[in-house]
Structure 1
């Protein structure tokens, strides 16, 4: 039996995929974890020199690796830090992050990352974790890399099924998925290939339909009954690139809120507008709507 709580945080091995809710072990970024005290943890990660989706550009790591690293830390600490059983769902309320562009350069070896995590606002129901907030300072080789803050809820299977109603049936949710819409220009949204584009153009400028490709090996690493959070974050990133085109923007931060589940059975519309430029860069507001409701919002900062 592997006792992960005793694992040295610098161990050069990956966390088993089940603890970060991934089907492919190759997609696991986390390498170790350690409890430092009450609600305080150290997590280590490794960013590869090349990634099939979050690939390097202009000699820099993709900043979305930070978001995915934090996403993986959510189930890891839920299961190992707070004894949440497998089968419980962790649902994002919000995710905010910033990154230092100067710390993003690719080296001759993978980047060794540390996440210094402080948890607060811990809520329990019937003795089980129901929600918490994570504030994270990230370092690379001991130097500041960025910060992140996120809050999520943890839902037991019976609660999740009750909240989701008819959408909890995975097979039916997948069967009702809208046809995959044609991609926008990969170059305009900061991508090199059409298969990785998550936006489809509409008749209105800066308004796109979300492309839900259930066969995408990274964004849909395993079957789910609603659009995953990382898909929405990627849509926000691509929408920011598109509205700032032809400037090749470097995304340095994002403030995002998840208001409702994004379902497969109806188009989800992504709209963007430039809010202005300040000392940290240009801010772009991205809004996702479905069935006439706002389902996701993000403010993306780009330099």
Structure 2
């Protein structure tokens, strides 16, 4: 059984991770807005979060490319999920980040792969 870092409470396992649980942890109620599909612990200080980018989402597509905002929203959802599941911050607590600055390679945002793109990112605590 996996346990969350810094807690004796069991972390969600792959079996427990149904869509409703993921949607709650990333703070999205609409199924199509939840980008996170899965996550796992790589080591004691590294988590891997997988997201799914749909090339059909009208808000995040522009001129045959994903908008960089999609990467930002993916990161926001990953941070929310890890904050709640790994670090045990209750869902009722307000999350906020004062500043974020990102640079995304425009070539990596192409939607021309004929399907979905599933980037994976790892987060390491400071």
Q: TM-score, normalised by structure 2?
A: 0.80
What's the counterpart of residue 111 of structure 1? 117
What's the counterpart of residue 42 of structure 1? 48
Q: Contact between 1:48 and 1:111, CA under 8 Å: does it hold in 2?
A: yes
- Spell out, residue by residue over 1:256-285, the C-alpha distance to the aligned partner (whole angstroms, 9 max, x if none): xxxxxxxxxxxxxxxxxxxxxxxxxxxxxx
Instruction: Compute the displacement of 1:4 (Å).
Output: 6.4
> Could you say what the CA RMSD is over the residues aligned between the two structures, in angstroms?
2.2
Instruction: Compute the displacement of 1:111 (Å).
Output: 0.4
Q: TM-score, normalised by structure 1?
A: 0.35
Instruction: Compute the displacement of 1:16 (Å).
Output: 2.3
Aligned pairs (5 A) from 1:219-298: none
Residues 4, 30 of structure 1: CA spacing in aligned structure 2 closer, same or farther, 3 A cutoff?
farther
Q: Contact between 2:48 and 2:123, CA under 8 Å: does it hold in 1?
A: yes
Correspondence 1:27 to 2:25: no
Distance 1:45 1:108 in 2: 17
What's the counterpart of residue 12 of structure 2? 5
5+ residue gaps, structure 2, are 1-9
Q: Which of the numbers 85, 92, 98 marks the counterpart of 2:97? A: 92
Distance 1:27 1:115 in 2: 18
Residues 83, 4 of structure 1: CA spacing in aligned structure 2 closer, same or farther, 3 A cutoff?
closer
Distance 2:63 2:23 in 1: 30
Q: Contact between 2:11 and 2:86, CA under 8 Å: does it hold in 1?
A: no
Distance 2:12 2:119 in 1: 19
Which structure ranks higher in relative contact order (CA pairs < 8 Å, sequence separation ≥ 6)? 2
- Spell out, residue by residue over 1:175-195, the C-alpha distance to the aligned partner (whole angstroms, 9 max, x if none): xxxxxxxxxxxxxxxxxxxxx
Which entry has the higher C-alpha Rg, 1 or 2?
A: 1
Bigger proportion of residues as strand: 1
What's the counterpart of residue 18 of structure 1? 24
Distance 1:26 1:16 in 2: 12
Q: Contact between 1:79 and 1:86, CA under 8 Å: does it hold in 2?
A: yes
Instruction: Compute the displacement of 1:37 (Å).
Output: 2.1
Q: Which of the numbers 50, 70, 90 marks the counterpart of 1:65? A: 70
Instruction: Compute the displacement of 1:63 (Å).
Output: 1.2
Q: Contact between 1:35 and 1:81, CA under 8 Å: does it hold in 2?
A: no
Instruction: Compute the displacement of 1:81 (Å).
Output: 0.8
Q: How many residues align?
A: 114
Give SS of 2:12's match: helix
